Copies of this chain bind each other. A is one copy, B any other.
Amino acid sequence: MDIEQFRKAGYAAIDAICDYHASIPSRDVVPSVAPGYLRAALPTAAPEHGEDWATIAQDYQDLVVPGLTRWQHPKFFAYFPTSGNFESILGELYAASASNPGFNWLASPACTELEAVMMDWSAKLLGLSAAFLNEGGVGGGVMMTSASDSSLTAITAARTRYIRHIARTSNVDIGALDAAHPGTDSSADGSPHRAVPQPLIYTTTQTHSIGLKAGLVLNLAVRALPVYAEDQYALRGDTLRKALEEDERAGRGVCVLIATIGTTSSGAVDNVKEIAEVAKDYPHLWIHIDAAWAGMAFSCPELRPLGYLDEINACEGVRSVCVNFHKWGLVAWDASTLWVRDRKELTDVLDVTPEFLRTKEGDAGTVIDYRNWHLGLGRRFRSLKLWFVLRSYGVEGFRAHIRKCIALNSLFAALIEESPIFELVTAPSFALSVFRLIPGSKGAALSEAKDKDREAGAEEALNTLNRAFHTALSARTDILLTQTTLDGTFCLRFAVGSQRSEEVDVKWAFGVAEEVGKGVLAGLDAAAAHGANV
């Protein structure tokens, strides 16, 4: 394809994207395709000879578009909605045209520098402490693929920091981990790196599975600390202290605590105020703040106390903070942002510089070589879409989006509270509500459900009912909600985040939930009348 062919194909692509986006509200949220639909429609191997672009572009429309789940749909309330707005699409387009792996400053100075500045803009937007800014030269921020990537990187650094600390205090040789800026040749050896007992990762039972997955990848044991319904599933200081004391007595080290601001399950906010108090007694515990979703709310000053931002900023134990602009933050996949209080804690483990990657700027230490801040080498030019979004919306527009989503969720939560057939399972959090269907009169069900001594059987019956409710909702293609379990309670999640969602969509969604819920309850009543055991 030459330049003029690209111009023509590009215009056509822009038009097709306009048409697609215009059609989204009238399309289903969930595509009606069965597993294997696309494989059946495609040849089994690449064509021998090149095909013309018009055919390829038409096949994209005919075969791929019908199989897309519409994450930008106003009635998408599942997982955490993503944005993927037009500014982001333009960011990805320009970034692709620059084609840069961005591992070194020299690989494209603009890529590294824009990322460093955008991470500072974002930190300021969210009210993060100056300690996390690139401009300070000590801490800094880097754009990652996903919160999993950010967590895994932070935990890798935390584990190394822990091992180095233990090795220093007990005079153990840790081989390559000891070497500063090792090259490939010099650090090759078979020495025992594992002389230091491996530390634990702390999560809570409500932490996202990325915690457990990091444990499996890094082969570190994960201890999930208990959290309780009466605390809205937030980790409390006493629980943390008790666990640390137990593990200390048992001779087990702990390298990191993942504290979540807004869990995926229910939006729980771990109590960083109390955690910070405990951390004073455990200076080598790395606290990683996973605010992947709710961290976007820090853009609004009035919401910062809800996420303990002051305590996050003040606590030296908080070594890293992750938020995802690609969830609630108006930027398309992938745009996970990770800040650290000390960049050296990343480069201490991730800087490996063979001769063929050396540059005079890197050697001089005057630039950031971002490859030494993450697990891989090559990286995408992600900062461009962030720049485009922040400039196009401004701080004001960004905040308006966040506040609107929260208002819409409050509306939904109010409707749930007023309804005789639903209850909130835990308090609404930012733009997320967790609710379930309840049979009989609400008062009775609530007291039943919240009674600590309730029968396991009754709770299991409620779970069965709600699974049926979820199955019935999931059979529809015009709306998407996802499910979770909280301490054994099966419930539905309602997450607002799409830029296109409006009051009318939320009211409509509630109406659908009510209609489906009533149908499920009617089936229950009918079954009860026939003496069936639910």
Give which listed residue, B68, B182, B209, B357, contacts A110 with CB less than 8 A.
Answer: B68
**Chain A contacts with B in 27-54, Cβ cutoff 8 A:** 30-31, 33, 35-39, 42, 44-51, 53
Name the residue of chain B whose CB is nearest to the CB of A56: B391
Q: Is the CB of A86 within 8 A of B1?
A: yes
Check B84 against A97 for contact (C-beta < 8 Å): yes
Q: How far is the CA of A476 from the CA of B321 in the complex (A)?
A: 41
A506 at the interface (CB under 8 A from B): no
Q: Does A483 lie at the interface of the complex (its beta carbon under 8 Å from any beta carbon of B)?
A: yes
CA distance A223 to B79 in the complex (A): 43
Contacting A51 at CB < 8 Å: which of B6, B213, B392?
Answer: B392
Residues of B within 8 A of A45 (CB): 120-121, 124-125
In the complex the two chains form, what is the Cα distance from A191 to B190 in whole Å? 27
Total interface residues on A, CB under 8 Å, equals: 182
**Interchain CB contact under 8 A, B1 and A188:** no
Residues of B within 8 A of A222 (CB): 176, 187-189
* A217 at the B interface (CB under 8 A): yes
Q: Is A128 an interface residue (CB 8 A)?
A: no
Contact B100–A71 (Cβ < 8 Å): yes
Choose the segment among A101-109, A234-242, A273-281 that binds chain B (4+ C-beta atoms closer than 8 Å): A101-109
What's the Cα separation between A66 and B98 when bound, in Å? 11
Within 8 A of B (CB), among A66-111: 66-69, 71-72, 79, 82-101, 105-111
Q: How far is the CA of A55 from the CA of B221 in the complex (A)?
A: 51
Find chain B residues with CB under 8 A from A177 CB. 216, 219
Asked whether A60 is an interface residue with its Cβ less than 8 Å from the other chain, the reply is yes
Q: Is the CB of A355 within 8 A of B483?
A: yes
Are B149 and A376 in contact, with the CB atoms below 8 A? yes
Select one of B67, B100, B220 contacting A113, CB under 8 A.
B67
A35: chain B residues at CB < 8 Å are 105, 109, 361, 366-367
Contact of A109 among B69, B85, B107, B184 (CB under 8 A): B69
Q: Is the C-beta of A319 less than 8 angstroms from some C-beta in chain B?
A: no
Contacting A9 at CB < 8 Å: which of B90, B117, B265, B334? B90
Q: Is the Cβ of A378 less than 8 Å from the Cβ of B148?
A: yes
**Among the listed B9, B224, B247, B250, which residue makes an inter-chain contact with A184, where contact means beta carbons less than 8 Å apart?**
B224
Decide: A5 and B110 in contact? CB cutoff 8 A: no
Which residues of A324-375 are within 8 A (CB) of B?
326, 332-334, 349-350, 352-358, 360-361, 366-367, 375
Cα separation A97 to B71 with both chains bound (whole Å): 10
Q: Is A159 an interface residue (CB 8 A)?
A: yes
Measured CB to CB, the closest approach of chain B to A400, in angstroms, equals 10
Contact with B along A121-141 (1 / 0, CB 8 A): 110110000000001000000
- How many of these chains are in the complex? 2
CB distance from A301 to the nearest CB of B (A): 13
> Within the complex, which residue of B117, B125, B397, B484 is in contact with A42, where a contact is CB–CB below 8 Å?
B117
Q: Is A166 an interface residue (CB 8 A)?
A: no
Q: Which chain B positions have C-beta within 8 A of A265?
A: 354-356
- A10 to B, closest residue via Cβ: B14
- Given the known A-B contacts A219-B177, A219-B194, are A46 and B125 also in contact in the complex, defined by CB atoms under 8 Å? yes
Closest B-chain residue to A250, C-beta based?
B190
Residue contact A394 to B82, C-beta cutoff 8 Å: no
Set B84, B218, B221, B377: member contacting A210, Cβ < 8 A: B377
Judge whether A168 is part of the interface by a CB distance below 8 angstroms: no
Q: Say which one of A195-203, A305-313, A409-417, A442-450 lies at the interface with B.
A: A195-203
Once the chains are docked, how many angstroms separate the CA of A10 from the CA of B7?
11
Indicate with 1 or 0, residue by residue over A208-233, a CB within 8 angstroms of chain B CB atoms: 11111101111111111000000000
Q: How far is the CB of A437 from chain B (nearest CB, A)?
A: 17
Of the candidates B100, B218, B394, B484, the one whose C-beta lies within 8 Å of that of A333 is B100
5 pairs across A/B with beta carbons < 8 Å? A46-B121, A67-B109, A101-B333, A160-B219, A356-B484
Q: For the A-B complex with A17-B93, A64-B110, A333-B378 known, give 6 more contacts whose Cβ atoms are closer than 8 Å.
A: A10-B90, A46-B124, A60-B384, A69-B100, A190-B252, A358-B483
The 3 closest A-B pairs by CB, nearest first: A84-B99, A188-B224, A67-B110
